[in-house]
């Protein structure tokens, strides 16, 4: 079974600064997907960024970028120019490839989450 570990229960950063959230995972699969989700106080889950394991290039979405180290099974999220609206709980998640003929239907395994607070 896959496991996802986020070792930082809480982080804080000053507005406009950069912060990195850590995530490690364990799997025997070669092909998979990794995600970072944001859950603000409204509790609506919002996709921040995704990475396909077969792609060597790190994914980037505006101020959000990842450092994907496949051999080390590490997937950290960097938030640049932090904004007050970035305050949320962040979850790292792992997904096996979808295999409708087998038992994988795109199930997500989440890490424990990191509460990020951006201070003005």
Partner 1 sequence: GAVVSQHPSWVICKSGTSVKIECRSLDFQATTMFWYRQFPKQSLMLMATSNEGSKATYEQGVEKDKFLINHASLTLSTLTVTSAHPEDSSFYICSARSTGESSYEQYFGPGTRLTVT
**Which of these, 98, 101, 112, 93, lies nearest to 2 by C-alpha position?**
93
How many residues bind to partner 1 according to rule CB under 8 A? 26
Q: Which of 24, 27, 33, 73 binds partner 1 (CB under 8 A)?
A: 33
113 neighbors 10 (Cβ within 8 angstroms): no
- Shortest distance (Å) from residue 43 CB to partner 1: 5
Structure tokens at 54: 């077969």
Residues of span 64-93 touching partner 1 by CB under 8 A: 89, 91
Exposure string of 89-105, with b = 16+ CB inside 10 Å and e = fewer, is bbbbbbbbeeeeeeeee
CB of 33 to partner 1, least distance (A): 5
> Would you tell me which residues interact with partner 1 (CB under 8 A)?
33, 42-47, 50, 89, 91, 95, 97-100, 103, 105-113, 115
């Amino acid at each position: 079974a896959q496991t996802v570990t986020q070792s930082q229960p809480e982080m804080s950063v000053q507005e406009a600064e950069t912060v990195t959230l850590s995530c490690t995972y364990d799997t025997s699969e070669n092909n998979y997907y990794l995600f970072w989700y944001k859950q603000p106080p409204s509790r609506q889950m919002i996709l921040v960024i995704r990475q396909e394991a077969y792609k060597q290039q790190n994914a980037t979405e505006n101020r959000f970028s990842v450092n994907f180290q496949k051999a080390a099974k590490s997937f950290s999220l960097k938030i640049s120019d932090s904004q007050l609206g970035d305050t949320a709980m962040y979850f790292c998640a792992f997904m096996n490839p979808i295999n409708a003929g087998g038992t994988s239907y795109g199930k997500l395994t989440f890490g424990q989450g990191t509460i990020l607070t951006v201070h003005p």
